[in-house]
Amino acid sequence: TANGAFPADAVRIMSRIVADAEVGCNFEQGYTFVRDFTPKPMSTLESIVSSAAQSALDLRAGLIVVFTNYGRSSRLVSKYKPPVPVLLVTPNARTARQHASRFACYPMVVESDGAIDKLDYLLRDALEYAQKHQLCPDGSEVVVAHGTNEVWTDVNAVVEFALSPGEASPFISARRDELVSSYSCTRISLPNVLDPAMPFRKTKIVCTMGPKCWSEEGLGGLLDAGMTIARFNFSHGDHAGQGAVLERLRALCEARAAAGGREVSPEVAYMLDTKGPEIRTAMLRDHQAISLEAGQSVVVEAVGAAYT
């Protein structure tokens, strides 16, 4: 988007391409590949939460919910590239920000002490949040990873199952995956085309934005188009101007969160280039041409502030 004339359209088209490409991904084969190349023995936590991704495949689930404080368990679930979104429920805003850029992870910040007796209430709120943001279809199976002594899965974890509110679609799939042996990471067949698409795009879209995209209108257009990671090139300019751009984007995200009933919006991750090349381009003074002769020596000097 730094050089393009139509950044919002570019992001919107890329988002559609990615969503369509995910339909053809062989998530079963991808899960097996990651698991086979994970050093053994793996940690107890990874062995448990990785089964959440496997269960989502086996059940054709609509969502994975992970309760975590510091994000270790949700990172492990994301590692196995699950076929459905991972709703990360955390009391830690920093954990939410760190996971906004991870594959399939969509954070939800809550206020909770993590007491295990609050699990039912937190899960109910999580499912309502997921449906409100179209992360999970109505009436679909939900894989839930939570702790044992407390809600958070940072130490001990168990995997359970729930059902999202509403009625499931009466659509009957003709898919017969158990009769198909696939050796490709991309497979498109008639059932893939006929089946309803996955509920939500899991791959994140990174937008490298130049100054032309820093206005409120420009940032809002990129958010509407599907931007999930905002990357700014701050290799030049002053700190005041750069801070104003970040505050502008934060204000837009907070406004969206307020409209959705949340005080913190974790939908966008931030990446900053705060130190870039000191000389990127050069120009002639007043854009006046200079006549050169063959064999003449030319000295190029960076005059910086002395340039007028």
**Each residue of 179-211: pLDDT tens digit?**
555 555 555 666 666 665 555 788 999 998 888
pLDDT at 227 over 50: yes
Q: What is the architecture of the domain spanning 1-23+199-283?
A: Alpha-Beta Barrel (3.20)
Question: Which sequence spans correspond to the domains of the chain?
Answer: 1-23+199-283, 25-187
The pLDDT value given to residue 176: 44
Q: What is the pLDDT of residues 17-55, one digit of tens each?
A: 888 888 888 899 999 999 999 999 999 999 999 999 999
**pLDDT band at residue 66, thresholds of 50, 70 and 90?**
very high
Average pLDDT over residues 155-178: 69
Q: Say if 1-23+199-283 and 25-187 have the same CATH topology.
A: no
Q: What is the architecture of the domain spanning 25-187?
A: 3-Layer(aba) Sandwich (3.40)
- Share of residues in the chain with pLDDT > 70 (%): 80
CA distances 295 to 107, 292, 298, Å, are 63, 9, 9
The pLDDT value given to residue 279: 53
pTM: 0.74
pLDDT at 147 over 70: yes
The pLDDT value given to residue 175: 45
Q: What secondary structure, in 3-state letters, does the chain show?
A: CCCCCCHHHHHHHHHHHHHHHHHCECHHHHHHHHHHCCCCCCCHHHHHHHHHHHHHHHHCCCEEEEECCCCHHHHHHHHCCCCCCEEEEECCHHHHHHHCCCCCEEEEECCCCCEHHHHHHHHHHHHHHHHHCCCCCCCCEEEEEECCCECCCCCCCEEEEEECCCCCCCCCCCCCHHHCCCCCCECCCHHHHHCCCCCCCCCCCEEEECHHHCCHHHHHHHHHHCCCEEEEECCCCCHHHHHHHHHHHHHHHHHHHHHCCCCCCCCCEEEEECCCCCCCCCCCHHHCCCCCCCCCCCCCCCCHHHCC
The pLDDT value given to residue 276: 53
